Structure 1
Amino acid sequence: MADPAPELDSATRAALRGLSDIVQPAPVSWLPQTWGWAVLAVALLLLAGWALLRWRRHYLANRYRREALAELSAIETRLGEDMPGAITAMAALLKRTALAAWPRSAVATLSGAQWVAFLRQSGGPAGIPDNAAAILDDREYRQPTATTTDEAAGFARALRRWIEEHRVSA
């Protein structure tokens, strides 16, 4: 058998009674310790608020684009059953979209070559291709020429690209 623990002398017992637990330091505060960090936090909050307001203003300003793209998608589904009506509706949608973005006095009176020139100038990098311009010109005041399904789909793609990429001057 193992030997029992040796008997402690009185000095050792007194020393053991005088021991206390290890004291842990208080947790470190997450609050900034200097005013510079507080100023930086306020500045970052203001910057985030400003960015959020700009994003919201941009989102609301481009609402007409989202609505026009949704309507264009609905019109595209009619291309197979009523192509002349769908193309006429797309041309009207393009005019309404331009009227939503620019002042009425700048857009409402445009027709023919002036309308196509306006669309090309404001259409961003892609502009309006020649085949789409020819379809627009035919649909405005003349009896429409025969359009194939591929031409109509290309016309819809050109309008979608113009709606997405046109730039309105401030």
Structure 2
Amino acid sequence: MMNGASDPLSDLRDIHLPDPVSFWPPALGWWIALILVMGLIPLSIWAFRKFRTPKALRTARHELQGLRESYAANQQDHTLTIGVSRLLRRYAIAVYGRERVAGLTGEKWLTFLNEKGQTNQFTDGTGRVLVSVPYGSHEPVQGQELIAAVEHWLQGNRRPKP
């Protein structure tokens, strides 16, 4: 042993562990992931709402809105009734099939609309004009009520019922 020398190992410091990793601030990858998720949430809500409604219904609603605006501007009962009649016929064919709908006319057509819409607006109410006005009759038409009845019918016929 050396004189006056102390143990050389006693001067060493103990093992130092690194500071614990902090969860804040997150790394760049976590920020990017957060931004992507926050952007995907509104996009997925929009897509769910858009594709939940069948295309035929979206198209019919859009056409009905056009008829509503045209009627508000012109107040032409005949034009409105023809447009509504065509709209209902095309939509019913799209939803229920050509074989089931295309041959229906007059009272059978109105009865079909009542049954599928769970209403009596077509045989006993405003919708009765659909079998007379497009073919030359000059009956008075309650346009707003007719549009409301068609809107209600469309809403109730999103998908075919067995």
Question: One-letter code of the match for 1:145?
Answer: E
State the TM-score, normalizing by the size of structure 2: 0.64
Unaligned runs of 5+ in 1: 1-8, 27-51
Matches within 5 A, 1:48-63: 59=51, 62-63=54-55
Does 2:99 align with 1:108? no
| Cα distance, 1:100 vs structure 2 | 1.0
How many residues are paired up?
128
Q: CA RMSD in A?
A: 3.2
Distance, in Å, in 1 between the alignment partners of 2:138 and 2:52 is: 36
Q: Percent identity?
A: 20
Check the 8 A contact 2:114/2:120 in 1, yes or no: yes
| Cα distance, 1:75 vs structure 2 | 1.0
| Cα distance, 1:59 vs structure 2 | 3.2
Check the 8 A contact 1:83/1:152 in 2, yes or no: yes
State the TM-score, normalizing by the size of structure 1: 0.62
| Cα distance, 1:103 vs structure 2 | 1.7
Check the 8 A contact 1:112/1:140 in 2, yes or no: no
Aligned partner of residue 77 in structure 1, secondary structure: helix
Distance, in Å, in 2 between the alignment partners of 1:164 and 1:90 is: 15
Distance, in Å, in 2 between the alignment partners of 1:159 and 1:65 is: 12
Distance, in Å, in 2 between the alignment partners of 1:134 and 1:119 is: 11
- Once the two structures are superposed, residues 96-132 of structure 1 have per-residue CA deviations (whole angstroms, 9 ceiling, x without a partner) of 1101111211101111221111112112x5x352323
